[in-house]
Chains A and B, each alone.
Chain A
Amino acid sequence: MPEKYHIHTHPEAPRFRIEGKLGIVDWREDCASCQNCVKKGCVYDIYKEETTALHEERGYLDYIYKCKGCLTCVQNCTKNILTRVVNTEYERLGDDYYKPEILLTTWFQAETGSIPVSGCGYGGPFSGPGFDSMWTDMSEIVRPTRDGIHGREYINTSVDIGRKLNHLSFNDGELDVKSPPIISSPLPLMFAELPVNWLRGSVPGILANVAKNLGLFSIVRENEIGDQDASMVNTVIPLLNNGSNGDSFVDSPMVIIPDSPDVLNTVESLKNAKAERIVAVRVMASPSVAGRVVSLVGAGVEVVNLVHDRSGREDAPDSPRHVRDVVRDVHGALLKAGTRDEMTLISSGGIALPEHMTKAVICGADLVTIDIPLLLAIECRLCGECEHGNPCSIRLEETEKEYGTQRVTNLMGTWHNQLLEMMGAMGIREARRLRGETGRCMFVEDLEKQAFGRLFGKRKTDYVI
């Protein structure tokens, strides 16, 4: 049995205080100084911490939002001087896609290296836009798993990248075909190239270092690859510019080129320069993308990188589809053409949480790329100040290499563990077999149709997906 892939994590505290959600406003002037003040009875010691923080820290009001929201003090104060409020700074974190909850959970994972447990039931809606409208089937979770996913049970999370042969042929008992080049990633994910605003200071170096340590691949724009360490050549995937001949990257295991009218000629010239190097074609997701991918694969392209925007939407003027629908569409078209098993599909954009990675693979991607979650791991607030040319409030560019490396490693450790948990619960022992396995998930529109279709007929409003 091969050795298990394991990511070693250890706690790494944040450099800056995390924005909390809730705080308390009190009218101190009206305090009656009761002997049994409710503040002394706070089970979370918020007021005790606040008093200490008030004397020792200079974090400018950050520390007033540590309340857990139990309301005990608010209800029991004899003078009614306490009011619970929501932190506006918390609500402003992130954007429409990267919601404050996603930022908080990512920070938790990067700090502790542990899977977050929400507990206390789920109080939110049961479906939402994008990946929230598909649920994985965890029915196998009841199956006895002996000593669990970290014990004797072996769940393989690695995936292959490259073209596969659809059949073998022999001549006089000898293999008559040459196997195309294939590389393997221990997780169904790659590090995507960073958005330009984050290409500063130590950030690119930290991510390259983590990719090297964990055996993952990181995509880097051609002009951003500096004098890299020889040990990183095998994990860096250059993203070539239009018209580039890629001569400087003959040792790279794979290169990515943008789609263009003469992309097939470019692929051919790159393969002629070095046949053992995998050449991937980057295609922007759009309503007609499935046809384009099928024609590229039919013409011999081995890997297609399907790119969505940051929130996982395709490029379309009206009602752009989400990753889950675009990838399902492309996957289905390739199946119909009979070429799905010969190629590798990499989906980029819209992957914010580990379950998104699993769900994208279920929809039909072989692997996904991530960028923003890696930045969140090194404490980015997604405040957008850098986009306006303002200084970064958490000085991201000054992040120490060891510290940043450990935070991102912790995040990857938890993503790996969550993938194992989900696959274990779905009864799948191999990430390669998870691809396109829609029998292991449910889509809200299908369930709604089954449950209410006979009563109410066809849905009269659009799904929010």
Chain B
Amino acid sequence: MAVKTTPDILVCLCENCVADSGTLPRQWDQDGCHIVVRMLPCTGRTDIQYLLHAFEDGARGVCVVACPEGDCTLFEGNYRAQVRVHLAKKLLKEIGMKENQVAMLHHSPKDSTDELKEKLREMVEEMSGL
């Protein structure tokens, strides 16, 4: 049986919001879902098309992890990501999908990576139930 490498849940993670990204697993299985983490230079690089492509490929959810408001290295990347995530939610609702399938989390590099792992675990639990 071929090993699954395409994600059920895609996590787009800003590289600046985790202090030791090396310790964060890049992929894992939880609640029957395959989760894949992709690092971004800034969540301002996300685009609605990126998010929707994941759904086209069969993903059940996409999560964008950005820096706390006002803490973006590029000043406004997290704000712009929020706008795009909001728009993606709107589009999903319009086509009859659940808007909760796209989520956004905030995490500061001052917080521990374990805290982020816990947040992601909770988010995956929620999405896998959809």
The chain A residues found within 8 Å of chain B, CB to CB, are: 23, 25, 27-29, 54, 58, 60-61, 64, 83, 85-89, 92, 383, 385, 388, 390-393, 395, 398
Number of interface residues of B (CB under 8 A): 34
Minimum distance in angstroms from A437 CB to a CB of chain B:
42
Q: A23-B45, A391-B4 are in contact. Are A61 and B83 (CB under 8 A)?
A: no
Q: A29-B83, A58-B56, A88-B39 are in contact. Are A393 and B45 (CB under 8 A)?
A: no
Count how many pairs of residues, one from A and one from B, have CB atoms less than 8 Å apart in the complex: 72
Let me know if B57 and A58 touch, CB within 8 A.
yes
Question: Does B15 lie at the interface of the complex (its beta carbon under 8 Å from any beta carbon of A)?
Answer: yes
Let me know if A64 and B45 touch, CB within 8 A.
yes
Let me know if B80 and A29 touch, CB within 8 A.
yes
Enumerate 28 A-B pairs (CB-CB under 8 Å) in ascending A order.
A25-B42, A25-B44, A25-B45, A27-B80, A29-B80, A54-B50, A58-B56, A58-B57, A60-B7, A60-B10, A60-B36, A60-B50, A60-B53, A60-B54, A61-B50, A64-B45, A83-B42, A87-B41, A89-B38, A92-B21, A385-B26, A388-B25, A390-B27, A390-B28, A391-B5, A393-B26, A395-B2, A395-B5
Task: List residues of chain B with CB within 8 A of the CB of A64.
Answer: 45
CA distance A66 to B116 in the complex (A): 30
CA distance A199 to B19 in the complex (A): 34
Mask: chain B, 1-35; 1 = CB below 8 Å from A; 0 = not: 01111010010100100000110011110000000
Let me know if B5 and A28 touch, CB within 8 A.
no
Let me know if A393 and B5 touch, CB within 8 A.
yes
Let me know if A385 and B27 touch, CB within 8 A.
yes
Closest to B40 in A: A61
CA distance A443 to B30 in the complex (A): 54
CA distance A392 to B83 in the complex (A): 34
Minimum distance in angstroms from B57 CB to a CB of chain A:
5
Mask: chain B, 65-101; 1 = CB below 8 Å from A; 0 = not: 0000000001011001001000000000000000000
